[in-house]
Amino acid sequence: DSLVENDGDLKDPESLASSQPTYVDSRNRAVKSEFLVLVGLCTHLGCSPKYIKKLDSAAPDASWNGGFFCACHGSKFDMAGRVYKGVPASENLVVPPYTYETDSLMIIGVDGENA
């Protein structure tokens, strides 16, 4: 699993200091592992990180496994929005509260535990 492979390179791999609801899994930071919900603002100065696939020509370096890159100051986040060591951002990308009204309808901004 590529998320586990990155652990040694991350500031907070277990998402212990992250801003996220308690009901999301701490590793993939999601209720359902196939869908990731993040606030699209870098935790450094609020620029908008861009999703960049693995092996994309826009990748920040040759070891890039895919994730989010903030071009403003070089912060990098993995596919779960967890921040890498050695970049300006100090925290993982924020996971907002959300819930599933049905299997195919997600409501963002509504806390899943208190809905």
| Rounded-to-integer distance, Cα 62 and Cα 113, Å | 40
| Catalytic residue list contains 44 | no
Can you tell me the distance from the alpha carbon of 112 to that of 99, in angstroms, rounded to the nearest whole number? 4
Catalytic residue from among 32, 50, 53, 73: 73
**Residues 12, 29: contact at Cβ < 8 Å?**
no
Both tokens assigned to 13: 């791999």
Determine the straight-line distance between the first and last CA of the chain, rounded to whole angstroms: 32
Tokens standing for residue 75: 């912060």
Query: What is the H or E stretch that residue 75 is in?
Result: strand 75-77
What positions carry a catalytic annotation? 73
